[in-house]
Amino acid sequence: MNLAPMNQTEYSHNTTPIAVRMVSTIDEWNRLESDWDRLLPQSEQDQIFLSYSWLRCWWDAFGGDKRLCLLVVTDDAGVKCIAPFMIVDHGRLGRVIRTISFIGTPETDYTGFIGTLSLAVVSAVVDFLVAHRELWDRIDLAQIPEGLPLFQHLVTAFTHQGLPTRTRHADQCLGYRFEGEPSARTSFTIRKGHEVKRLLNFFKGEGGLTVERIASPEAIKRRLDELMHLHITRWQSTPTPSQFCDERYRRFFHGLIDRLHPEGRICFMLSRKGETPVGMSFNYEYKGTIFHYTLAYNPFYTKKSAGNLHVILQSEQLVQAGFHLDFSRGAGPYKKILSNWQRANMQIIVYESGLSRRIADLWEKAKASSVGRALTNNRRIMEWKMRLQHRLAERGIVRFPFWMMRALLRRILRVETTVTFTCRRDLFSLQSGIAVRPSDIASAENIATFMGFHLESTSYHQLKTDIEGGVQFWIAATGAITGVARRSPAVGSGHSGLSQCKISQVADTAKALQAIVAHELTTSGEAECSISVPDGSQLSSVLDELRAERARVDRSISFFGYTIGQ
């Protein structure tokens, strides 16, 4: 889209000439960096999510299918304010809806303008949007903190233009601000209830929990891969899979370390029992405040509230170190216990027409009715809603009905196919940087953590029983575990075999799989071995690429959960 003819409009508000121009290229954005850094401390929100570095990291990871729409407000003195907008295309019933949103949505916790703010400046930005109506169909500005002038100025300006506008609460944000004497910080503790004390006593009996801040960027990146794997494992069987299944998120977090760590803005916290991670969190440090961003905990300790314990212990340590805490958006139960302030984030929506606005109002009234509230509060219905929303966004309106049909059929009739590959020695080689070791009873907890078993599960107890009975697993690791496979005799052949193989989605699947298979061949001394994996999985695709031979296919058929044939 050629936007050059419409990139600047001049206004006069209160006799002060104001010009608004649109920046739509990365090169132009790069030239704004010095102005951005100069204006941010003057903003009503001087914080990490509005910084040039954070927004550029986000754009590098997620901006590929979006268009820049930075609106730069200037006066006689130069750049006065920047509205960090983007244009996002959404498909709806075969139509493309062009939506103007804040850059960083939905990963940002707070949004706003950068620079000196006034009603005149906001009105000039809105006037520009109205004058260039051909750019957009809808405006959706979310995560604007309630009570800040920007929110009211935007509502006033949109209303003045006669645009069909609606506001709503988007999220609740909570935090903790230490209000005692500075000398009292070192003895600060969070009041703990009976249940928290019981859980802490459990870990005390296991050797205790250690909470530490990881300092070097290399160590943070190693731990970040563990955090991603724990997060993926935690959410893998839920309606909303982990964000880290998406390679863009993994690239985003690594980019944040590269760009923000040299600026001293990354705070990575680890709680561990011995060398076993219990909880990890990726946070930001900015001007005396720690912004909590992403948490992952060891699924092995799910029943021991590992995530809550991690947050409690890290919060104590950070307050003692002199920081205030911002738990960011989302009102989780543990946040309410730890917080002493809260505020709402707001959303402003400008619709295509008055009819669209009235339909949205009717929908909100339906959700607020007694029936709507009952449905909203039903956990199973909300799980299905989230699952459907995720699949609709993933597959689009055309492919979505076919996914629905397949999902319903799988509920009735399920066919699972396992492929056994024959792996020859000449196709697999040991991989540098990946160590492969055999399991022992001491490694059972680490294997269970990697596989996603919790302490009291039958899967963990079966794993322990197998290892105690002589069953051996190969464990591939690059510091953290990247893959696990069970050694077992191959079905229908004399050579050795591997099964129950799992490789971390964060790791290089081909390298980790090659390392395990090569180690098995080296240890057994045989010319080939077999490995059984689900057909259609990433592992089977990698084995096909490595030219392993498909030796055997096994299928099991179940009807309403009951196996009826193999």
- Half-sphere exposure at residue 504, Cβ-oriented, CA atoms within 13 angstroms: 27
What is the 3-state composition of the chain as percent helix, strand, coil, each rounded to the nearest 5? 45, 30, 25
Statement to judge: residues 85 and 121 lie in one domain: yes
Total number of domains constituting the chain: 3
Enclosing H/E stretch for 405? helix 379-412
**Average pLDDT of the segment spanning 69-81:** 94
CA torsion angle 326 330 336 340 (round to 10)? 30
529 φ, ψ to 5°? -145, 170
Is pLDDT at 3 greater than 50 in this prediction?
Answer: no
pLDDT at 397: 61
Dump pLDDT digits (tens) for 235-283.
887 777 899 999 999 999 999 999 999 999 999 999 999 989 999 999 9
pLDDT at 403: 63
**Average pLDDT of the segment spanning 528-534:** 89
**Average pLDDT of the segment spanning 224-233:** 94
**Average pLDDT of the segment spanning 540-545:** 90
Q: What is the 3-state secondary structure (H, E, C) of 9-78?
A: EEEEECCEEEEEEEECCHHHHHHCHHHHHHHHHHCCCCCHHHCHHHHHHHHHHHHHHEEEEEEEEEECCE
Of 152-156, 417-421, 492-496, 551-555, which one has max mean pLDDT?
152-156
Q: What token pair was written down for 9? A: 């409009």
Is pLDDT at 231 greater than 70 in this prediction?
Answer: yes
CA torsion angle 126 131 132 133 (round to 10)? 80
Structural domain ending residue among the three candidates 308, 330, 355: 355
CA distance 426 to 280: 40
CATH of the domain at 262: 3.40.630.30
pLDDT at 52: 97
Structural domain ending residue among the three candidates 309, 331, 355: 355
Statement to judge: residues 471 and 559 lie in one domain: yes
Contact at 8 Å (CB) between 249 and 243?
A: yes
* Radius of gyration over every alpha carbon of the chain, rounded to an integer in angstroms: 27
Statement to judge: residues 306 and 199 lie in one domain: yes
Statement to judge: residues 192 and 322 lie in one domain: yes
pLDDT at 524: 86
Residue 444 lies in a domain: yes
Give the mean pLDDT of the chain: 88
pLDDT at 6: 47
Statement to judge: residues 111 and 194 lie in one domain: no
The total number of residues written for the chain in this structure: 566
Residue 457 lies in a domain: yes
Dump pLDDT digits (tens) for 329-356.
887 777 888 899 999 999 999 998 888 8
**Average pLDDT of the segment spanning 196-209:** 92
Residue 34 lies in a domain: yes
**Average pLDDT of the segment spanning 3-16:** 51
CA distance 145 to 126: 19
**Average pLDDT of the segment spanning 176-183:** 91
* Crossing angle (nearest 10°) for helices 194-205 and 306-320: 90
Query: Could you tell me which residue, 373 or 517, shows the higher pLDDT?
Result: 517
Is pLDDT at 550 greater than 50 in this prediction?
Answer: yes
Statement to judge: residues 195 and 310 lie in one domain: yes
Statement to judge: residues 329 and 425 lie in one domain: no
CA distance 351 to 449: 47
Statement to judge: residues 157 and 223 lie in one domain: no
pLDDT at 238: 75
Contact at 8 Å (CB) between 260 and 53?
A: yes
Is pLDDT at 373 greater than 70 in this prediction?
Answer: yes
Is pLDDT at 2 greater than 60 in this prediction?
Answer: no
Statement to judge: residues 324 and 238 lie in one domain: yes
Residue 240 lies in a domain: yes
Query: Could you tell me which residue, 384 or 525, shows the higher pLDDT?
Result: 525
pLDDT at 40: 97
DSSP letter assigned to residue 300: G
Q: Specify the residue for token string 């004058």.
A: 131
Residue 306 lies in a domain: yes
Residue 392 lies in a domain: no
Statement to judge: residues 157 and 251 lie in one domain: no
Is pLDDT at 173 greater than 80 in this prediction?
Answer: yes
Is pLDDT at 410 greater than 90 in this prediction?
Answer: no
CA distance 447 to 443: 6
Is the whole model's pTM more than 0.95, yes or no? no
Is pLDDT at 4 greater than 60 in this prediction?
Answer: no
DSSP characters for 511-550?
HHHHHHHHHHHHHH--SEEEEEEETTSHHHHHHHHTT-EE
Residue 135 lies in a domain: yes
Residues 6 or more apart whose CB falls under 8 angstroms from that of 410 comprise none
Query: What separation in angstroms does the CA of 86 have from each of 25, 100, 253, 263?
Result: 11, 6, 21, 26
Contact at 8 Å (CB) between 225 and 268?
A: no
Is pLDDT at 502 greater than 80 in this prediction?
Answer: yes
Q: Specify the residue for token string 């729409």.
A: 69
Contact at 8 Å (CB) between 100 and 140?
A: yes
Dump pLDDT digits (tens) for 22-57.
999 999 999 999 999 999 999 999 999 999 999 999
> Is residue 425 very low, low, confident or very high in pLDDT (cuts 50, 70, 90)?
confident
Determine the structural domain holding residue 435 and report its residue range.
415-565
* Crossing angle (nearest 10°) for helices 444-451 and 217-235: 70
Dump pLDDT digits (tens) for 94-145.
678 899 999 999 999 999 999 999 999 999 999 999 999 999 999 999 999 9
Statement to judge: residues 208 and 281 lie in one domain: yes
Residue 370 lies in a domain: no
Percent of the chain residues topping a pLDDT of 90: 62
Statement to judge: residues 282 and 152 lie in one domain: no
Is pLDDT at 452 greater than 70 in this prediction?
Answer: yes
